Amino acid sequence: MIELEQMVIELSEAFGPSGFEGEVRQKIASWVGEYTNVTYDHFGSLIAVHSGTTMSPKVMLAAHMDEVGLMVRGILPGGELRVVTLGSWWPPSLLAQPVVIRSREGDRLGVIGAKPPHYLREEERNRQLKLDDLYIDVGARSAVEVQAMGIAPGDPVVPAVQTRPLSGQSVYMGKAFDDRLGCAVLANVLQTLGSHHPNQVVGVATVQEEVGLRGAKAVSPVIQPDICIVLEGVPADDFPGNSIVQGRMGGGPQIRRFDPTMIANQALVDLLIDTAQQSGIPYQVAVRESGGTDASAIQVHTHGGVPTTVIGIPVRYAHSHQGIADIRDVSHTAALVREFIFRLDLKTVNHLKQNPW
């Protein structure tokens, strides 16, 4: 069984922007295949069924495999690549960052360029950078040179980043922690659950979350879960000047009561908090002013609705080249989910369904 820490490193470094999740899926399948029955839907999501002592209730755990990335749109005469985004980026965070372009002939390195500051006019300096100002520079001098490298419109792009430890033993810097940390929890729980849980667990690694929860919308009606927990790498809010901190890195799993796209089943949240307290697992509770996850799609894309919430692992600088996260938050999340699954027998889940608040 692979260590959680090694799992995080491998998942973080895997290539997998929205619509190109194959490498991530292959890793998860190789880790959980021995413990679950793995199938795929027609859109790319992985479905791993873990049998317990009974077939019902059906407990869905979901994590998305895709990371925010780019796609080559076209090649300018000078050899620069224009791009479209796969998921949401804040353009200033892209400037001067290294990227890898997956061409049909292999991976190519580039850097995100823009007009150099030395050449900017006054009015250009004072306005915010837009995606249109940016391009990928692969070190070529013409479109012909770029074509000779095998690069073509449609090639997917992700940050070129190695996952590295920071000070301390458990904090790492790397890309795609949103949501490879959730994928790591999913795989770890499926590996360590054992067969005595009073339910059927269905682990789902979804595709295309970052472009509008498309994978979750496609797969939920197929699963028809009785209850669902979404596992997410969520933006940490422990930055300077924030007076309401609900997602501190190292503060433990963050249980979500609300975001603008989802009102969680409050009884489910209460039961999760109970479980954390009784198991001595640190936790934090979030009421978010923005954001949304696969949970908003899953909770309404099943007949009659599904009691749902999100458990988040705080990630500083999500949707950028260098996120920072604490592995202890990942292992605490896995411990909480594992404990929780053993509480979800038919009676408890039926109660949550009938008494959501």
The contact set with Co ion (CB under 5 A) reads 178-179
Q: What is the 3-state secondary structure (H, E, C) of 35-64?
A: CCEEEECCCCCEEEEECCCCCCCEEEEEEE
Q: How many CB atoms lie within 10 A of CB 115?
A: 12
- 241-250: buried (b, 16+ CB within 10 Å) or exposed (e) per residue? eeeeebbbbb
| Three-state SS at 320 | coil
What sign does the dihedral 313-319-161-16 (CA atoms) show?
positive
Cα 12 to Cα 179: distance, rounded to the nearest angstrom: 9
Residue closest to 199 by CA, chosen among 39, 343, 38, 63: 343
The answer to whether residue 122 is catalytic is no
Q: Which is nearer to Co ion, 112 or 230 (CB)?
A: 230
Q: Which is nearer to Co ion, 199 or 208 (CB)?
A: 208
Instruction: State the pairing for strand pair 69-75/81-86.
Output: antiparallel
Instruction: Give residues with Cβ within 8 angstroms of 191, minimum separation 6.
Output: 1, 31, 32, 35
Q: How far is the CB of 233 from Co ion (least distance, A)?
A: 6
End-to-end CA distance of the chain, in Å?
39
Q: How far is the CB of 209 from Co ion (least distance, A)?
A: 6
Q: How far is the CB of 234 from Co ion (least distance, A)?
A: 7
Start-end of H helices in the chain: 4-13, 22-32, 122-126, 143-148, 177-192, 214-223, 266-279, 294-298, 327-341, 346-354
Q: Which residues pair with 38 in a beta bridge?
A: 48
Point out the catalytic residue in the list 21, 80, 209, 232: 209
Q: How far is the CB of 312 from Co ion (least distance, A)?
A: 9
Residue closest to 97 by CA, chosen among 105, 106, 87, 89: 89
Residue closest to 17 by CA, chosen among 37, 54, 44, 38: 44
Q: Which is nearer to Co ion, 81 or 231 (CB)?
A: 231
Q: How far is the CB of 104 from Co ion (least distance, A)?
A: 28
Q: How far is the CB of 124 from Co ion (least distance, A)?
A: 33
Answer whether 315's CB lies under 8 Å from 181's CB.
Answer: yes
Q: What residues are labeled active site? A: 209
